């Protein structure tokens, strides 16, 4: 990070082990002993505090981490630990100068540790969670970057972008259960360089830190795409394949696509997630309202019983579905509002 600050490097990719985004303030979790990205960020913030620079950070977490264990109640195997960067979120919750933005497998909040809901907003509207459904892939991630991540990062205008780069969302990963292709990881970085109107046209330094990832066939390919995108500040898959050696071997991942099927509820689930994100965050990040998806969803007719607005900050509770109770309201107060 400091070499990027000193202009010795344009960007960086830190290959660190163990990963860190699950580690809490007072305990390790999910293979994570230290929260690497938060520790590094605070070192930089302290070091440059007197200069008044590098105090504002955006952390983008595209990790998915999973493991399986037996259900104590039914004695059968069940996926119970596909979750987002709970540790990083909690450590950044009250810091108005840190935007934490996570895109992760959520499965309706049914997986341990049951965090990362779209209605979690942090102490200063600085937390944004995009919970997805298992088996989602490039199509959903593209929409997330174009309609949520890029406009929010642009609104926040950080001094530096830090990326918790997990590869367990990559297709073929034995634990993640998602279908993100290796080239899509290159496009993630491409979006940050090319889909945001940076102030004075100056893109802040981007530093990636390795998180999870457990498939040794697709993970290196995805990492290669990220590094290529960092070096070139853009990513074109055809040009990338011309530039690398053994392009045919690289494309072996495409055989996996033939075996994958889209989740039957994917389209409906994803649209509901986007609606919820827009309802919760568009008041604080006005650029969201300028996205094509926001306009599309806004133009559709809404049932008068579809949502209940809690206050002018556009935090909402949706009826007729199970949702996470927002931190700023108790269950009792929400029930009272719904009865009126």
Positions marked catalytic? 22
Q: How far apart are the C-alpha atoms of 270 and 273, rounded to whole Å?
A: 5
User: Residue 77's closest CA among 88, 65, 69?
Assistant: 69
Quickly tell me which residue has 């979750």 as its tokens. 83
Within 10 Å of residue 259's Cβ, how many Cβ atoms?
8
Burial grade of 322 (CB within 10 A; 0-12, 13-18, 19 or more): exposed
Looking at the DSSP bridge assignments, the partners of residue 208 are: 13, 163
Spatial CA neighbour of 170 closest among 147, 191, 186, 192 = 186
Task: State phi, psi for 311 to the nearest 5 degrees.
Answer: -155, 180
Neighbours of 76 (CB within 10 A): 7
- Three-state DSSP at 301 gives coil
- Both tokens of residue 12? 């960086």
Residue by residue, DSSP assigns 201-225 as: G-PPEEEEEE-----TTHHHHHHHH
Contact criterion met (CB below 8 Å) for 20 and 37: yes
Q: What is the tally of helices (H) and strands (E) in the chain? A: 13, 10
68-70 vs 77-79, strand pairing mode: antiparallel
Structure token digits, residue 283: 């008041």
Rounded Cα distance between 134 and 64, Å, is: 10
Contact 173, 215 (CB under 8 A): yes
């Amino acid at each position: 990070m400091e070499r990027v600050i000193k202009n010795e490097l344009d960007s960086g990719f830190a290959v660190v082990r163990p990963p860190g985004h699950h580690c809490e303030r007072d305990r390790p979790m999910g293979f994570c002993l230290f929260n690497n990205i938060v520790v590094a960020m605070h070192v930089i913030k302290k070091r440059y505090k007197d200069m008044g620079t590098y105090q504002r950070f955006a952390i983008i977490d595209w990790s998915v981490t999973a493991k399986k264990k037996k259900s104590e109640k039914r004695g059968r195997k069940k996926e119970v630990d596909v979750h987002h960067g709970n540790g990083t979120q909690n450590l950044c919750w009250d810091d108005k100068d840190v935007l934490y933005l996570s895109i992760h497998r959520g499965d309706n909040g049914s997986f341990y540790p049951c965090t990362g809901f779209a209605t979690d907003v942090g102490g200063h509207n600085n937390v944004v969670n995009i919970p997805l459904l298992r088996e989602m892939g490039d199509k959903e991630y593209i929409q997330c970057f174009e309609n949520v991540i890029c406009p929010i990062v642009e609104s926040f205008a950080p001094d530096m972008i830090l990326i918790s780069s997990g590869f367990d969302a990559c297709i073929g990963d034995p634990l993640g259960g998602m279908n993100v292709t290796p080239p899509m990881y290159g496009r993630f970085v491409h979006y940050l360089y090319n889909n945001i109107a940076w102030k004075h046209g100056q893109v802040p330094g981007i530093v990636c830190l390795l998180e999870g990832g457990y498939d040794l066939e697709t993970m290196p390919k995805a990492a290669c795409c990220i590094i290529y995108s960092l070096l070139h500040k853009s990513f074109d898959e055809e040009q990338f394949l011309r530039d690398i050696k053994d392009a045919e071997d690289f494309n072996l991942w495409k055989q996996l696509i033939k075996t994958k099927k889209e989740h039957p509820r994917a389209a409906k689930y994803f649209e509901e997630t986007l609606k919820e994100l827009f309802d919760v965050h568009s008041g604080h990040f006005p650029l969201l309202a300028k996205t094509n998806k926001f306009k599309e969803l806004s133009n559709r007719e809404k049932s008068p019983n579809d949502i209940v607005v809690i206050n002018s900050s556009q935090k909402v509770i949706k009826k007729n579905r199970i949702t996470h109770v927002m931190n700023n309201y108790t269950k009792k107060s929400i029930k009272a509002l719904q009865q009126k």
